[in-house]
Amino acid sequence: MANDHAIEVPVRFYRTEMGTEPVLEWLRRLERGDRRAIGMDLMRVQFGWPIGMPLVRSLKDRLWEVRSTLPSNRIARLILCFHQGTLVVLHGFIKKTRKTPAEDIALAKRRMREVIR
C-alpha cells in the first residue's frame, strides 16, 4: 500500500551575518492576504518538492522561482535554492516586469553563495 503522507522538505529563510532575515521582513510588510497566499504556495512547494510549472520554475544555476498570484492583484516571486536537503528562501519581491529582473537574480545568487559556504 502506498504511503499517502507527503514528505515535508524543511524550509528556512536566508539569514545575514548580522542575523536579520530580509525575506521574512519583506513578507511581514505585505498585506495579510498576500502573506497568506505566498505562505500557502511555499507550503505546497514544501510538501510537493520537486514541483514544476506553473507554481515553480527553474531559473538555472540551482535557483528556483516560486510564482504567486496575490489577492491584491499583484504577482510575487520567491527565489530559493535546495541545499543539504533544505529549501532556502533567498529573496522575495513583487514582480513589475515580464522577465525576472537581473538584479533580483544576482542578489539571490550572492545569497546562495553565502548559504553554500
In tens, the pLDDT along 3-54 reads 456 689 999 999 999 999 999 999 999 999 999 999 999 999 999 988 999 9
pLDDT of residue 1: 41
Contact 81, 4 (CB under 8 A): no
pLDDT of residue 5: 61
Burial of 89 (0-12, 13-18, 19+ CB in 10 A): buried
Q: pTM (2 decimals)?
A: 0.91
The domain defined by 11-116 folds into YaeB-like fold (3.30.2310)
Give the closest residue to 65 by CA, choosing from 96, 105, 107, 21.
105
Q: Is the pLDDT of residue 2 over 50?
A: no
Q: Is the pLDDT of residue 115 over 90?
A: yes
For the chain, where are the E strands, in sequence order? 11-13, 56-60, 63-69, 75-83, 86-95
